[in-house]
Structure 1
Amino acid sequence: MNAPRTIAEYLKQLRDALRGADPALIQDALYDAEEHLRAELAENPQRGEAEMLAHVVGTYGAPDEVADLYRDQEIKIQRALRPPPMPKRRSAMGRFFGVAADSHTWGAMFYMVLALASGIFYFTWAVTGISLSLGLLVLIIGIPFVVLFLSTVRALSLLEGRIVETMLGVRMPRRPPYPAMTGMSLWQRVGAIFTDGRTWTMLFYMILMLPLGILYFVFTVVPMVVSLAFIASPIGLAFNNDNVLINWGLGSHEPGWGDALLLCIIGVFLLFATLHLVRALGKMHGAIAKGLLVRSDDERA
Structure 2
Amino acid sequence: MNAPRTIAEYLEQLRAALRGADPALVQDALYDAEEHLRAELAEQPQRSEADMLAHVVGTYGAPEEVADIYRDQEIKIQRALRPPPVPRRPSALGRFFGVAADSRTWGAMFYMLLALATGIFYFVWAVTGISLSMGLSVLIIGIPFVVLFLGTVRALSLLEGRIVETMLGVRMPRRPPYPAQAGLSFRQRVAAIFTDGRTWTTLLYMMLMLPLGIIYFVITVTMVSISLSFIGSPVLKILSDADVILWTCGIPEWLCPQTSWWGVAVLCLLGVLLLFATLHVVRGLGTMHGTIAKGLLVRSAQPQV
> TM-score of the superposition, structure 2-length normalised?
0.95
Give the corresponding residue for 1:118.
118
What one-letter code is carried by the residue in structure 1 that aligns with 2:36? H
For residue 246 of structure 1, the aligned residue among 246, 249, 252 is 249
What CA RMSD, in Å, does the superposition of the two structures yield over aligned residues? 1.5
Give the corresponding residue for 1:277.
281
Q: What is the Cα deviation at residue 181 of structure 1? A: 4.7
Give the corresponding residue for 2:270.
266
The alignment status of 1:5 with 2:5, answered yes or no, reads yes
Q: Provide the rounded CA distance (Å) in 1 between the counterparts of 2:29 and 2:200.
A: 23
Verify the 8 A CA contact 2:180 2:189 in the aligned structure 1: no
Give the corresponding residue for 1:44.
44
Q: Provide the rounded CA distance (Å) in 2 between the counterparts of 1:76 and 1:261.
A: 49
Q: What is the Cα deviation at residue 190 of structure 1? A: 1.8
Verify the 8 A CA contact 2:12 2:303 in the aligned structure 1: no
Secondary structure of the structure 2 residue equivalent to 1:255: coil
The alignment status of 1:297 with 2:301, answered yes or no, reads yes
Q: Provide the rounded CA distance (Å) in 2 between the counterparts of 1:127 and 1:277.
A: 31
Give the corresponding residue for 1:141.
141
Secondary structure of the structure 2 residue equivalent to 1:298: coil
Q: Provide the rounded CA distance (Å) in 1 between the counterparts of 2:143 and 2:255.
A: 69
What one-letter code is carried by the residue in structure 1 that aligns with 2:119? G
- Could you tell which deviates more after superposition, 85-94 or 174-183? 174-183
Q: Provide the rounded CA distance (Å) in 2 between the counterparts of 1:261 and 1:237.
A: 11
Secondary structure of the structure 2 residue equivalent to 1:90: coil
Q: What is the Cα deviation at residue 88 of structure 1? A: 0.8
Q: Provide the rounded CA distance (Å) in 2 between the counterparts of 1:290 and 1:17.
A: 21
What one-letter code is carried by the residue in structure 1 that aligns with 2:148? L
Structure 1: 5+ residue stretches without partners: none
Q: Deviations over 1:168-198 (max 9, x none)?
A: 0000000001111533333222222111111
Secondary structure of the structure 2 residue equivalent to 1:239: helix
Q: Deviations over 1:201-254 (max 9, x none)?
A: 001100000000000001111000100000000001101225543344579964
How many residues are paired up? 301
Q: Provide the rounded CA distance (Å) in 2 between the counterparts of 1:20 and 1:298.
A: 9
Q: Provide the rounded CA distance (Å) in 1 between the counterparts of 2:167 and 2:30.
A: 25
What one-letter code is carried by the residue in structure 2 that aligns with 1:193? I
Secondary structure of the structure 1 residue equivalent to 2:74: helix
> TM-score of the superposition, structure 1-length normalised?
0.97
